[in-house]
Amino acid sequence: LVTAAAVATSESSRLRGKLALALPALFAAGRRLYEHPGIRGLYPEFLFATHCIIRASVPLMEIGRDRAASLVGDPVASGTARYLGEHIADELDHDAWLLEDLSSMGFDAPSVMARPPSPGVAQLVGAQYYWISHYHPVALLGYIALLEGYPPVPAEIEEVRARSGYPREAFRTLLAHAELDPGHRDELDQVIDALPLSPEQREVIGLSAISSVELLARVIDEIPQNATPVTAPRN
């Protein structure tokens, strides 16, 4: 029998509690972007930044899985490797979905791929490579907990669609994640709760999650400042 007290003090609940303190800044950045009067020009920029982040997801998990599998005799690493190995299949081709969304607005996929990601994106994703390679791959679970723990809200997606004037096809990836992420979040929470984490490992998961909130908010806030055309829309 799982008691209410046990649920309240589970490791995933503690992590979500930490994130709750930091998330208002991220949500505010999202509102500033979605409510921006130039949202039609900024929405492709948002998708470009999102694509830059998501195209690193599977490679990150592969590196995390392999690093975790190399830590023989470490039960936390073993559980992390097993989860990442299974979750990779869930995340395959999501970057391609975003390219299709951009294409539906008339943006050229080769030009998207040729454009350098921003330093903010590199900092966000690059921090995970450091945690994985130079500390412990369980840190990656904090990053995933953020990215999949707070899915897009369909009503807000529809509001942005209406204000931007883009077709529904330009929002397929956001709508898909609104449907898929709640299940992924619950699965990850179960994994975190089952791992025999040390105090230091609990700390690094939290550090990874909280620092990712700050860096992702920065990426979003920089979109209006750094916006340049991905490529000219086709007629």
Tokens of 128: 């995970």
CB 215 within 8 A of CB 123: yes
Give Rg (Cα) of the chain. Answer: 18
Q: What is the pLDDT of residue 154?
A: 92
Q: What is the pLDDT along the chain (235 residues), one digit of tens a residue?
A: 455 544 457 999 999 999 999 999 999 999 999 999 999 999 999 999 999 999 999 999 999 999 999 999 999 999 999 999 999 998 888 999 999 999 999 998 899 999 999 999 999 999 999 999 999 999 999 999 999 999 889 999 999 999 999 999 999 999 999 998 899 999 999 999 999 999 999 999 999 999 999 999 999 999 987 665 444 444 4
**pTM of the complete model:** 0.90
What is the average pLDDT value for the chain, to the nearest integer?
91
Q: What is the pLDDT of residue 108?
A: 87
Cβ contacts of 19 within 8 Å, gap of 6 or more = 145, 146, 149, 209, 210, 213
> pLDDT at position 9, please?
79
- Which pLDDT score is estimated for 6? 47
pLDDT of residue 228: 53
CA gap 19, 51 in Å, rounded: 23
Q: Which of 108, 124, 6, 125 is nearest to 64 (CA)?
A: 125
How confident is the model at residue 77, as a pLDDT?
98
Q: Which residues contact 200 (CB under 8 A, 6 or more apart)?
A: none
pLDDT of residue 234: 43
**Cα 155 to Cα 161: distance, rounded to the nearest angstrom:** 10
> What was the pLDDT predicted at 230?
45
pLDDT of residue 199: 97
CB within 8 Å of 121: residues ≥ 6 apart: 49, 52, 53, 219
CA distance 160 to 222: 19
Instruction: Give the pLDDT score at 181.
Output: 86
pLDDT of amino acid 190: 96
